[in-house]
Amino acid sequence: QVQVMESGGGVVRPGRSLRLSCVASGFTFSTYGMHWVRQAPGKGLEWVAVIWYDGTNEFYAGSAKGRFTISRDNSKNTVYLQMNNLRAEDTAVYYCGRDGAPRDSSGYVEYWGQGTLVTVSS
């Protein structure tokens, strides 16, 4: 069955960097877009970024543009989120998810990981 598992969360000081990883299994990874979505404590969901199945396109939320970079390694069934210049408001659970349709991104997240918590604090 489809499984998605995030790692790399933790406590980091403002201005520092952190890289999240997400390993997927149970499907042909290289044919699906992958997303990152975050949720601040007690708040709603915020879409962060998507990368197309072949890595040729990436799109970001305004809050992530210029500071975060999504990438993927199809040989390792892994997608990454490099987060630079972190701020307190980036504190959230970060979910990785598989897109709903193969090839071009459908736009919705069909399968979700359990999330990894990032805390930005001095």
Partner 1 sequence: DIQMTQSPSTLSASVGDRVTLTCRASQNVNRWLAWYQQKPGTAPKLLIYTSSNLESGVPSRFSGSGSGTEFTLTISSLQPDDFATYYCQQYIVYPWTFGQGTKVEIK
> Least distance from C-beta 13 to partner 1, angstroms?
27
In the complex with partner 1, the residue whose CB is nearer, 14 or 107, is 107
Whose Cβ is closer to partner 1: residue 15's or residue 90's?
A: 90
Residue 100: C-alpha distances to residues 22, 32, 120 (Å)? 17, 8, 31
CA-based nearest residue to 62, from 31, 102, 89: 89
| Nearest approach, Cβ of residue 75 and partner 1 (Å) | 26
d(Cα 122, Cα 109) in Å, to the nearest integer?
33
Least distance to partner 1 from the beta carbon of 59, Å?
4
Interface with partner 1 (CB under 8 A): 37, 44-47, 50, 59-62, 95, 100, 106-115
User: With respect to partner 1, which residue has the nearer C-beta, 13 or 44?
Assistant: 44
SS3 88: helix
Do 37 and 70 form a contact (C-beta atoms < 8 A)?
A: no
